Amino acid sequence: MNSFLRPEAQRQLSRYRDLIIAALVGAVGLYWALTTFGLMVWVGWLLVIVAAAFAASGIQRLRFKTEAGGIGVVTVKEGQITYLAPFDGGVVALSDLDVLILDYAQTPPRWVLKQLGQADVHIPLNAEGTSKLFDVFAALPGLQTGEMLSALEENSGHSIVIWQRDKAPENVVRLH
């Protein structure tokens, strides 16, 4: 069934979807907080707080998204990142990922995923489905999403190590 919206408008609405939802939930919460009484006032303020948190998350996702249309497709399923392209590609299990690099020295710029004993997987920033990588990267222990987003916007022209797995054995007691 055809939509009454142009495809360009659908893409823009989809891009700002999280912020639109946050604004609607926040408006309902603010309305309840200011016009009702009793328990509904508190529910309204709670909705405003939830909407603010959702908007902050939406802004981060918006900063992470890049234009699609590049070579290849990225899929994420059960902790495994798969990149399929006509001449390149690879698979990385999130548990095996050792180093995450943002490489602006290549054209087009790309994510480089390194794992021990395997070939590096190079994913162009404009490959289809790269927006799915935000949640995967945010789940990496110790990764600072703010620093990652700043590096993504900076376009420094060289490679930047975004995250590296801590190599200390898990059964060692640390003093710091």
Give the position of tokens 């996702």: 61
What is the side-by-side order of every strand in the sheet holding 159-164?
A: 121-124, 110-115, 97-103, 159-164
* pLDDT at residue number 3: 72
pLDDT (tens digit, 9 = 90+) per residue, 89-128? 899 998 889 999 999 888 888 999 999 888 899 999 888 8
Which of 148, 103, 146, 98 has its CA nearest to residue 122? 103
Output the pTM of the full model: 0.68
pLDDT (tens digit, 9 = 90+) per residue, 18-71? 899 999 999 999 999 999 999 999 999 999 999 999 998 888 777 776 666 778
